[in-house]
Chain A
Amino acid sequence: MSSIPLTHILFLSTALFFIGMYGLFTRRNLISMLMSIELILNSVNINFVAFNKYLYADKLDGIFFAIFIIAIAAAEAAVAIAIIINLYRSHRSIDVEDATEMRY
C-alpha cells in the first residue's frame, strides 16, 4: 500500500535525532534544551512505529513502546520544568551558563 520505503523514515528519524542533539548542545536556554530532548524522544518514537509497521506488523510492541515514551516524556518534562522554575527562583535566570557553580 504505502510506497515510502523504511529507509526514508529511518533517515527522517535519524535526522530528527541529530537535530535534537544539536539543539541540546547549542541552546543556552534550558527550556529550548528540554525541547531538543523532546525531539530526540520523538525520533525514537518514529523509529519504533516504523519498525513495527514495516517489519513486525504482527505484534504491537513498538507502538506501545512509543505510547509509553510519550507518557514518560510528559512526566519528565513536568519535573524538569518544575526544577527549572526553582532554578529561576534561585538564579534569576534559566540560562544554562549561569548554573555552573559546581565544577572541577
Chain B
Amino acid sequence: MIDFFILMKQELVIMIIIFALLIIKIISDRSNEWILNMVNFLLLINFAAGFFFGKEGMLFNDMFRTTPLTVLEKNILSLGILIISLQSYSWLKNHKHVLEFYILLLSTLLGMFFMISSGNLLMFYLGLELSTIPLAAAANFDLQKKKSSEAAMKLIISSAFSSGLLLFGISLIYGTTGTLTFTDITPHITNNPLQIFAFILLLAGFAFKISVVPFHLWTADVYEGAPVAVTSYLSVISKGAVLFVFVSVLYTVFKPLSHSWYNMLFLLSALTILIGNLFAIRQNNIKRFLAFSSIAQVGFILVGITGSSQLAETSVVYFVLIYIFSNLAAFGVVSLVSAVTGKENISDYKNFYKTNPALSWVLTIALFSLAGVPPTAGFFGKFFLLMSGAGKGNYILITIAALNMIISFYYYLRIVKAIFMDANEHPIEKLFIPTYPKMAMYICVGGIVFTGLLSYVYEFIQSLVPGV
C-alpha cells in the first residue's frame, strides 16, 4: 500500500494541489498576489517532491510503472512548469481567472505524468487526452482575443483528429497483438503490413504532438494565438513529455520494427529541420518564429532518436532539459514584453539593447543556446544529439542537419541583430522586471550556462537511462 503512495507520489502531489486550488476557488476569493505566491510555493514543493523516496515498480498490473528515469523526466517537467508560472506572473497578476488557469495547466501536467509512466496503451491514451484537452481550453484563455479562440479551435479540432487516427492505430495494434500492455505487445510485433500501418498511425499521433513535418501545421497558428504562457507551455512541457514517451515506446515496444522506423525518422527529421528552418526565416511575429524554430529543434531531436542507443535516449532527455531552459528564457523575455507592451513582433525588438540591456542579454544567450553556440548548453545538447545520430553511421543525415544549422543560425542571429544593431528611434521602453520573472530568468540562464559545462548532469541522466 505504501508503495502506491511512493510510486505515484508526483501524481498525487499534483492532484492534491489541484484539489487545493479548487477548494480555494470555492471557499475564498483571495487577491491574485496571494494566490500566485501560494501556487508558486506549491509548485516548488511539487518539484522538490520528486527528489525524495525514489522507488522503482509497477502498479495496476503494469498499467503504471515508475523508474528513476520517469521520476527524473517528471521532475524536469515540474521544473519547467515552475519556471513558466514564475514568468507568467506579470501576465496573471491582473487576470480574472488565475486559479482556473493553474487548474487547467496542472491537470495537463497530471496527464503527462500518467502518460510518461504508462505501461499500457489505454493508460497512455488517457494521459495523452488529459494532457491535450485542458490545453485547448487554456489556449483560449485570452477570452476576448480573436486570435486566442481561433488558436484554441485549431488545436482542439486537429488534436481530436489526430487522436482519432492514433486510436485507429491502437485498435489495429490491439487487433493484431491482442493486448494493450507494452511488455506483451513487443513479442507479437512482426513486420506484417497491417502492423506497420498501425505503427505509422501511432507515429503520426506522436508526430502531431511534437509537431513533426508534415503533422506540424497547427503548431505555428496555435503558438501565435495562444497566451504566451500557454505557448511556452506547449512548446516545451507538452512537447518534452511526449518526446520522453515517444523515445521509450520506440526503443522498447517497437524495437522489432526498428529498421522501418529508423528510415521513417530519417525521412521525417530531414524534412522537419528543413521545413522548420525555411518557415522560420520569414516570420515576423516572435512567438510564431519561436514555433517554427522549435519545429526545427524537434528535427534535430529526431536525428538523435535515430541513433537508437543509450547515448541517444540520454541525449534526448538531456536536450529536452536544456531546451526547457533555453526556450523558457526566450519566452520569459517575450512574455514580459508582450504582457507590458503587447508588442510581439521581431521588428519591435529593434535597438532593444539600448533600453533593456539585461533582458537583451538574456534573450541573446537564450537564442545562442537554441542555435547551439558554445559555451551555452545548447551547443552540448545539439552536439550529443548529432553524435548519437552519427553513431548509426548515416552521415548524409548528419551533413544535412549540420548544414541546416547554418540556416538556423541565420534566423537566430537575425533577432540578435535586431536587438543590438538595427537603428530604431522608438525602442521598447525600459521594463520593470518583477521578482518572480527575475527568478525565472536567473534559473534559466544558470541552467543554460551550467547544464552544459558541468558534465555531471549528463552523466547523471545517462546513469538512469537503461541500456538499449
Do chains A and B make direct contact within the complex (CB under 8 angstroms)? yes
Q: Which residues of A does B touch, CB under 8 Å?
A: 17, 20, 24, 30, 33-34, 37, 40-41, 43-44, 47-48, 51, 55-56, 61-62, 64-65, 68-69, 72, 75-76, 79-80, 82-84, 86-87, 89-91, 96, 99-104
Chain A nearest CB: distance from B18 CB in Å?
16
The answer to whether A79 touches B143 (Cβ under 8 A) is no
Q: How many A-B residue pairs have CB under 8 A?
A: 122
The answer to whether A30 touches B153 (Cβ under 8 A) is yes
Inter-chain contacts of A83 with B (CB < 8 A): 136-137, 140, 149, 152-153, 156
The answer to whether A47 touches B171 (Cβ under 8 A) is yes
Task: Select which of A20, A65, A104 is within 8 A of B174 by beta carbon.
Answer: A65
Other CB < 8 Å A-B pairs besides A69-B167, A102-B288, 13 of them?
A: A20-B164, A37-B157, A47-B175, A55-B175, A61-B174, A61-B179, A65-B125, A72-B133, A79-B136, A79-B137, A80-B157, A90-B145, A102-B224
B150 within 8 A of A: yes
Chain B nearest CB: distance from A4 CB in Å?
16
The secondary-structure label for the interface of chain B is helix
The answer to whether A37 touches B151 (Cβ under 8 A) is no
The answer to whether A55 touches B178 (Cβ under 8 A) is yes
Task: Select which of A48, A64, A80, A102 is within 8 A of B150 by beta carbon.
Answer: A102
Interface residues on B, range: 35 or more
Q: Decide yes or no: A102 and B174 within 8 Å by CB, A44-B164, A79-B136, A80-B156 being known contacts.
A: no
B126 within 8 A of A: yes
Inter-chain contacts of B147 with A (CB < 8 A): 101-102
Give Cα A62 to B152, complex, Å: 31
Task: Select which of A24, A51, A96 is within 8 A of B175 by beta carbon.
Answer: A51
Least CB separation from B175: chain A residue: A51
The answer to whether A72 touches B126 (Cβ under 8 A) is yes
The answer to whether A51 touches B174 (Cβ under 8 A) is yes
Chain A nearest CB: distance from B175 CB in Å?
4
Give Cα A44 to B162, complex, Å: 13
Least CB separation from B220: chain A residue: A102
